[in-house]
Amino acid sequence: MSETERERPLLQASEERAYEETEKVLIVGIDEEEDADYGDELGGNSPKFSWKKLWLFTGPGFLMSIAFLDPGNLESDLQAGAIAGYSLIWLLMWATAIGLLIQLLSARLGVATGRHLAELCREEYPTWARMVLWIMAEIALIGADIQEVIGSAIAIKILSNGLVPLWAGVVITALDCFIFLFLENYGIRKLEAVFAILIATMALAFAWMFGQTKPSGTELLVGALVPKLSSRTIKQAVGIVGCIIMPHNVFLHSALVQSREVDPKKRFRVKEALKYYSIESTGALAVSFIINVFVTTVFAKSFYGTDIADTIGLANAGQYLQEKYGGGFFPILYIWAIGVLAAGQSSTITGTYAGQFIMGGFLNLKMKKWVRALITRSCAIIPTMIVALVFDSSDSMLDELNEWLNVLQSVQIPFAVIPLLCLVSNEQIMGSFKIQPLVQTISWIVAALVIAINGYLMVDFFSGAARSLVLLVPVIMFAVAYVLFVLYLISRGLTYTPWQLVASQKETQRDDDE
């Protein structure tokens, strides 16, 4: 163990932590003899696979997967299905695989270091840079929250037959932070159980719609296995990839994995945790992929090739389904609304969770959780309320707003992904759990691809928006500053920070003395 690793716990004792020791789920206590059998700190093998341990590690991956099922993703799914049919399912599958890679790296960072991404950014970057990263993370979170809260409010409006206006639905959804605080008092496992129920609700609702509309199994299989892309569907393709990587979710997963009691000083325990988290995250995103496929194929079967395909959005999708398939004992309009409500409620609660970790990690704030939850919730609810009051009467304006919010997410992606890749590639931080050169290469290629695709979305959007000189000048200035900051973040991954250099020199001197 390096000098830095031994000193770090002393430095962290007075700092904000993701979870207190009493809040964590105990893993080691399952078999007290394991420490003696596998406790070779330098290279001990992981204990044998245990279903009981997998169950205890199950939870963080499913909370993380909520971001793959939020209302923004559902709108991207339905638009892809209505406009592109079954042809983009292959891209949805590969985009989910890319998302899995990024989230596994986030989990690896959290388990191996015992710190989450926001905390490490606070340590690794100078004050001005980490403040920019914090502001960008908060903006990304607010943008995602607006989509999620508006999605819930739309569902509440549908279920109330229009009696509850959009702004009132926003107020109702805002109360979820109190639900979150209530559940958190009963332990992390109770909170995870609630999310499992919400995911199951989504799965059942959209599976019921899949069964009622009966999409073509053959076309689904062809769409998943045969890559196909045309100029008409490029916007939907970019939307699918852009919705998969959510900046706040990268921060969130690195903190969630610390809810289990894993001693980072015991190498075999870290290896074991990474194994179970990898299995759990893969299973969680497999479930999210299936749910997204349900939504895409329902709208592909129902509206692909029709005159209204280009006009369908989250706000009017249920009504179009109702007009096509009618009522029945369980009207499809209400089944759709139940699924959207489950997606919106679950994602807004995880957004509150992510906001706590982001604010606490970057600023090292010491305050009660309910105070921090109210602050993070207020930051999102106030702009969302304004949106609800302004856009309540126009579905097309809501769809346009959603495009702006998707661009906002695209802008933020480098500010989460690049620091993550730099940190997990740094041996001074990760020790022996630093990712290997091949994984580094693949990860950077994937990150470059995602950033380039989202860059295309930004260029396409702003080229249409900035048609006057008054708008063009600030857009160009923003673009230059943006590119320079991204290059700065990349350069930080190629050099030692001052404390790392000192630590390296200390370790070298200690080895020479021995």
Note whether 122 and 130 are within 8 A (CB): yes
Q: Where are the alpha helices (DSSP H) in 304-426?
A: 317-325, 332-363, 369-391, 395-412, 414-424
> Where are the alpha helices (H) located in 425-468, listed in sequence order?
427-430, 437-465
Q: Mark residue 326 as left, alpha or beta (left: phi above 0; alpha: psi -120 to 50; beta: remaining).
A: left
CB 295 within 8 A of CB 77: yes
| Degrees, nearest 5: CA angle 156-161-167 | 45
Residues 6+ away with beta carbon under 8 Å from 44 = 38, 266, 267, 268
Q: What pLDDT score was predicted for residue 10? A: 39
Name the nearest CA neighbour of 464 among 395, 413, 396, 403.
403
Residue 217, both tokens: 């199994």
Pick left, alpha or beta for residue 214 (phi over 0 → left; psi -120 to 50 → alpha; otherwise beta).
Answer: left
What confidence tens digit (pLDDT) does each residue in 385-423 have?
A: 877 777 666 666 776 677 677 777 777 888 999 999 999
Rounded Cα–Cα distance for residues 80 and 487 (Å)? 33
Beta carbons of 57 and 96 less than 8 angstroms apart: no
Other beta carbons less than 10 A from residue 53's beta carbon: 20
The identity of residue 206, as a single letter, is F
Q: What is the pLDDT of residue 221?
A: 94
Q: Whole-angstrom Cα distance, residue 305 to residue 123?
A: 53
**Which backbone phi and psi does 329 adopt, to 5 degrees?**
-65, -40
Q: Rounded to the nearest 5°, which phi and psi values hold at 427? A: -65, -30
Relative orientation angle of helices 414-424 and 127-159, to the nearest 10 degrees: 130
Residue in the block written with tokens 């985009």: 95
Coil/strand/helix, residue 260: strand
pLDDT computed for residue 44 by the predictor: 53
Which residues are CB-neighbours of 128 under 8 A, at least 6 positions away? none
DSSP 240-256: HHHHH--HHHHHHHHHH
Residue-wise pLDDT tens digits, 359-382: 888 988 777 766 777 777 777 777
Neighbouring C-alpha atoms within 13 Å toward the C-beta of 233: 24
**Backbone phi and psi for residue 25, each to the nearest 5 degrees, phi listed first:** -80, 125
Cβ neighbors of 283 (< 8 A, separation 6 or more) are 61
Residue 464: what pLDDT? 62
Residues of the chain short of pLDDT 50, as ranges, are 1-13, 30, 32, 40-43, 496-512, 514
Phi and psi at residue 260, to the nearest 5°: -105, 145
Question: What pLDDT sits at residue 184?
Answer: 73
E runs forming strands in 30-182: none
